[in-house]
Amino acid sequence: MRRALYIGAFMVVVLQAAAIADADPLILSGFATLQGEFVSNFAFSSVRFDLHHFAPGEFSFGLSDSDLPCTTQACEPGLLLASVTLKGSIGASGVIDGRRFDTIHDEDLSDDPIEGVSLGTTLRFAFDRPFAVPPGDTTVMSPFTLSGHITGRPGPRFETVVLDSDVESHGTARIHFRSGVPDFFPERLRVADLSSFTFGEAAATPEPATWMLMLFGLPLFARLRQHGRLTRDDSRVPEANRSVAAPGRD
């Protein structure tokens, strides 16, 4: 009876850990490149998906809800930049949960290729240390921590949701600043004309589900092993040694 209770408790811990794992952010790896405020190419991958630009070189994505300093408006040299946010929809193709979403080529729908899946993205790249816009034409490199959310809807109708998850990662940003174009901005100002964000796996820190298994599952498992060993050892004890003979009369 006690063994069954231990097994039941262990299964509860495993199921709770699995539920927490489903809610954990996915670790994102890949890259995103921008020309000014436009996303020109990207590739995103995790344990659940492997997605990339559905037609690189043919389409760039202007994410109007993004926060991209020094792109649509020039910046004063010395301005401190703390983060960059990409927010909006971008077209992708690739694999989600083992299912392929290839670029669609259908002349009845469009003369242009159509993304296999539309990604609603909110990705915030928070620089580990804010940096100042440089006074000259140069490239600034800065490590960052990425956090955000990705939602995927397959084409051509983009109605159902096949991906809806928080994501996180870390990596390095490379942002090139040039002087302003006289017809648009004063030359003393700076514009971020080319940017790239490369990100990979985060540090190997146990996730909440892993901690739950370690804190509760392992002691239960050890107790189960001990209980099983004691049962086996008890079965090996000779019958004569298990009971105490009644004292005889003198």
The secondary structure of 189-226 as a DSSP string is SEEEEEEEEEEEPPP----HHHHHIIIIIHHHHHHHHH
Higher per-residue pLDDT: 104 or 240: 104
Tens of pLDDT, residue by residue over 163-193, are 999 999 999 999 999 987 766 778 889 999 9
Beta strand ranges found along 54-162 (DSSP E): 61-62, 80-96, 99-101, 117-132, 138-154
Q: What is the pLDDT of residue 39?
A: 96
Q: Residue 220 — pLDDT band, cuts 50, 70, 90?
A: very low
Instruction: Give the three-state DSSP class for 233.
Output: helix
State both tokens at 230: 């004691």
Q: What is the pLDDT of residue 110?
A: 64
Instruction: Give the three-state DSSP class for 158.
Output: coil
Q: Which helix (H) or strand (E) holds 116?
A: none
The rounded Cα 37 to chain-centroid distance in angstroms is 23
Q: What is the pLDDT of residue 127?
A: 97
pLDDT of 208 strictly over 90: no
Domain boundaries, the chain: 1-24+207-222, 26-203
Q: Contact 37/61 with Cβ under 8 angstroms?
A: no
The rounded Cα 117 to chain-centroid distance in angstroms is 18
Tens of pLDDT, residue by residue over 10-26, are 443 333 433 334 479 99
State both tokens at 104: 């669609």
Q: Which helix (H) or strand (E) holds 128?
A: strand 117-132
CB neighbour list of residue 57: distance below 8 Å, 6 or more residues apart: none
The Cα–Cα gap between 33 and 50 comes to 17
Q: What is the pLDDT of residue 52?
A: 97
Tens of pLDDT, residue by residue over 71-112, are 988 999 999 999 999 999 999 999 999 999 999 887 666 678
Q: What is the pLDDT of residue 222?
A: 53
pLDDT of 234 strictly over 60: no
Provide the 10 A C-beta neighbour count for residue 56.
13
Confidence (pTM) = 0.71
The Cα–Cα gap between 200 and 163 comes to 20
Residue 125's nearest CA partner among 192, 185, 188, 184 is: 192
Q: What is the pLDDT of residue 159?
A: 92
The Cα–Cα gap between 139 and 123 comes to 22
Q: What is the pLDDT of residue 185?
A: 74
Query: Which residues face 140 on adjacent strands?
Result: 175
pLDDT of 209 strictly over 90: no
Q: Contact 213/13 with Cβ under 8 angstroms?
A: yes
Higher per-residue pLDDT: 101 or 220: 101
